[in-house]
Structure 1
Amino acid sequence: MSRSRRKKPIFAITSCTSERDEKKIWHRRLRTLERTAMAGTSAEAWSAYLPLLENQACTVWEMGKDGRHYQSPREFAEIAEHRANRQGRTPQERASLKKRLPHQRMGK
């Protein structure tokens, strides 16, 4: 897996590492709403019953990861140059960082 590469440079816009806890809350809320809706339905109305949609419990935009962003190779090069100039102490180190940083970002 050390050589695996990302096929498309699309990344999550995020401030968190995982949405696991938020997904647990979301699905718990969805199951609770579904259970209460089913409990309020009479036996005669079962044929007309429609299950709830996921968006009725919560929206994706309320979670930690807000959508996705495409980064072009030109943007990769600009970011790598900026970080290399900030982090590198010698010209050789800066050149090495400019070359290495885009490959690190594209790794899985």
Structure 2
Amino acid sequence: MSRSRRKTPICGITTAASEHFDKQIWHQAYRKAVRQRLATNPHQDFPHLREFFNPWSMGKDGKRYWGVRHLGAKWLRK
């Protein structure tokens, strides 16, 4: 892996290392809503994912394409 490089320079916008805990919280809320929906009315559609999370309010605040000139070699390493 020492020679592997990122093929497309797409990185998170902020300096947050991970969105792991944000994803855990909204996945739990979504699964709870699906369980409740199945218990009350199993023939009704599932709730939409966007009702439970907003990717712009998470830790990384989305991703962005950075040109190779703007990023150094440090950011292109895996």
For the aligned pair, the TM-score class normalised by the smaller chain equals: 0.7 to 0.9
Equivalences, count: 78
Trace 1:33-72 onto structure 2 (pairs within 5 A): 33-41=33-41, 46=43, 49-72=44-67
Structure 2 residue 28 is the aligned partner of structure 1 residue 19: no
Alpha-carbon RMSD: 1.7
Q: Provide the TM-score with structure 1 as the length reference.
A: 0.63
**Structure 1 residues 20-54: Cα deviation after superposition (integer angstroms, max 9, x where no partner):** 1111111100011112222222xxx72xx111121
Rg comparison, structure with higher value: 1
Which structure dedicates a bigger proportion of its chain to helix? Answer: 1
Q: What secondary structure does 2:63 align onto? A: strand
Q: What secondary structure does 1:11 align onto? A: strand
Q: Provide the TM-score with structure 2 as the length reference.
A: 0.82
**Structure 1: 5+ residue runs without aligned partners?**
77-101
Deviation at 1:58, TM superposition (A): 1.4
**Structure 2: 5+ residue runs without aligned partners?**
none
Q: What secondary structure does 1:14 align onto? A: coil
Indicate the larger mover: 21-30 or 64-73. 64-73
Identity over aligned pairs, percent: 37
Deviation at 1:105, TM superposition (A): 2.1
Higher relative contact order (CA 8 A, sep 6+): 2
